Chain A
Amino acid sequence: MARTPLAAIVGLGFSELSRKPIGSIRDLAIAAVGAAVADAGLTSGDIDGLLVVRSPLAKFEDLPLKIQDDLDLRDLRLLSSVEAEGSSTLQAIQQATMALRHGMAQTVVCVFSDAPLAPGTSGSSAFDLVMPMTGIDGWEARYGMFGAVGPYALAARCYMARYGATAEHFGAYAIANRQWAQRNPLAFLRNPLSMEQYLASRWIVEPFRMLDCAYPVNGAIAVVVTATERAADAPSPPVYVYGLGQGHAGLPGVRGFDRELRTGAEIAGQGAYRMAGVNARDVAMCQFYDAFSYTGIQSLEDYGLCQRGEAAGFVAAGHTAPGGRLPVNTGGGHLSGYYLQGMTPVAEAVIQARGDGGERQVTKRDVILVSGNGGRLDYHAALIVSPLKSLT
């Protein structure tokens, strides 16, 4: 049965992106929303919904609902701050889609903005939170488990032990990202990367090297989502939303629940595929939330694109790199592109679906999987998007 779209993304806007301080989170968000609304061929009077997303490390007042007035938005029918850690941006687009479906609003802007890098801050120190995993508040700090990198590295080590994956497999993932980034003018790390260079990169939290970790930037990205029937007037080709899914598996913390290897992303994927009337075999390209190299490998398995234990080999064989049969993170992802949490994969999905990918444009783009991931592989959201007006 042919599926009709649930909604359409008709605007994409960026603030400046930089490693240097370029403004507050609020100011960057204003810039991105303005750019997205203009990209959609609209004005602020056309917008009747606004969903704001901040980093889990930012404060509410960094991006308050009062940004509505900064943007001269009046008589909104949908306004909220969406908080689900790294899955927030995808969840915001899902909420916008549902509101549009039910006629609660007609044109909604979703914006993510972050400014983690101040003078003298490193990527590590900007993200040095303590992630609870044991369930006892304060427990992890006794052992120096700081940052998101440690918990993700723990998961990566599980995968290595279970399936025999090696540093070279993670290296292959980072190199594939870099090869895509070299073709993306928006990407920050565009120098060629060899396996020798990857292996020489310094340890952060072993088994992760610096090049296994996201490349943080200051900046904001916004998208405009509108009801399908309004999308025809947009200046750029609409990017249709077909599938929404979430998965939050919970962490029982006992033998038998290996959340390092099998996460709620599996449930998110199944939900998104079912709604879109597709399955994993139909996915033409993936835009994953891959803040660490292992996340991309884990996503390939949880989203049903590789068998358990086989994603590392799949990546090492070049299947996700330029020219491969399943392009993954075609803008360079979080590792080589830029880390703006869920908006990194969303923006690249929109660019690819529109056919605006230039040197990195992928030909087959009928079914695009986009993912968001928060906590330590705890909170997952997925979208299926397509440039096609119906999916069969």
Chain B
Amino acid sequence: MTSKRHSRFAEEFLAFIAARELRYARCRQTSAALGYTARPPDGSYEWVAATGAATLYTFVIYHQGYSDYFSTPYNVAVVELDEGPRLVSTVVIDDLAKLKVGMKLKAAFENTGRLVFVPV
């Protein structure tokens, strides 16, 4: 038997993302929302659909280019889902100057399948 406690949790999350579903893990016993850094034992958690409602926890604007795939300036954000978990993403916004910590956001999927957030 192989042990996959680290990789399985991430694979499950990414499989939902590939199906354009944003889910988070919840502890079966306490109902507490778990962060995506958690690696709970098999059977101790369940994946629950997130509402997609979120808050901008923090963000930065890349002016220095590191890769041809990203044209500067672009933003990288940490969003906090209303249910509690935080994850790195980006906010789709016409004017970067309008980004503000604490602003309300909603999850969306780009045509490529990438999870992003848009202002509400």
Binding site for B on A (CB under 8 A): 124-125, 128, 133-137, 139-140, 142-147, 149-150, 153-155, 157-158, 161, 202-208, 251-257, 260
Contacts and interface: CB of A to CB of B under 8 A. Distances in A.
Contacts of B69: 144
A133 B88 contact: yes
Contacts, number: 113
A142 B101 contact: no
B101 A144 contact: no
Contact of A144 (B38, B58, B67): B67
A142 B70 contact: no
B88 A140 contact: yes
B67 A146 contact: yes
A133 B78 contact: yes
B60 interface: yes
A253 B66 contact: no
B58 A158 contact: yes
Contact of A157 (B10, B66, B87, B101): B101
Interface in B44-101: 57-64, 66-67, 69-70, 73-74, 76, 78, 80, 84-90, 101
Contacts of B90: 143-144
Report, as a range, how many residues of chain B touch the other chain.
Answer: 35 or more
A153 to B, nearest CB: 4
A248 to B, nearest CB: 14
A158 B57 contact: yes
Q: Which of A134, A153, A154, A161 has the most CB of B within 10 A?
A: A134
Contacts of A155: 58
B58 A260 contact: yes
B14 interface: yes
A153 B60 contact: yes
Contact of B114 (A142, A254, A255): A142
Interface of B: 7, 10, 13-14, 33-38, 57-64, 66-67, 69-70, 73-74, 76, 78, 80, 84-90, 101-102, 114
A253 B38 contact: yes
Given A145-B88, A150-B60, 5 more contacts: A128-B66, A136-B14, A140-B76, A205-B61, A256-B84
Given A133-B88, A134-B87, A154-B58, A144 B78 contact: no
B55 to A, nearest CB: 9
Contacts of A206: 60-63, 73
A157 B99 CA distance: 11
B32 to A, nearest CB: 8
Contacts of B36: 134-136, 139, 253
Nearest to B63: A203
Pairs of residues from A and B, 10 with the lowest C-beta to C-beta distance, nearest first: A253-B35, A135-B37, A161-B101, A144-B70, A146-B66, A203-B63, A206-B61, A135-B36, A253-B37, A153-B60
A87 to B, nearest CB: 19
A147 B70 CA distance: 14
A136 B62 CA distance: 21
B41 to A, nearest CB: 16
A143 B80 contact: no
A328 B76 CA distance: 31
A5 to B, nearest CB: 39
Nearest to B34: A254
Contact of B84 (A135, A145, A158, A254): A254
Contact of B64 (A142, A161, A205, A254): A205
A161 B99 CA distance: 12
Contact of B13 (A124, A136, A252, A256): A136
13 contacts: A124-B64, A128-B66, A135-B38, A139-B88, A140-B76, A142-B114, A144-B66, A144-B69, A149-B64, A154-B78, A157-B101, A203-B63, A252-B37
Nearest to A161: B101
B116 to A, nearest CB: 9
A350 to B, nearest CB: 34
B1 to A, nearest CB: 22
A161 B103 CA distance: 12
Contacts of A147: 64, 66
Contacts of A143: 76, 88-90
A239 B64 CA distance: 41
Contacts of B76: 140, 143-145, 150, 154
A160 to B, nearest CB: 8
Given A150-B60, A204-B64, A252 B35 contact: yes
B58 A255 contact: no
Contact of A254 (B33, B63, B70, B74): B33
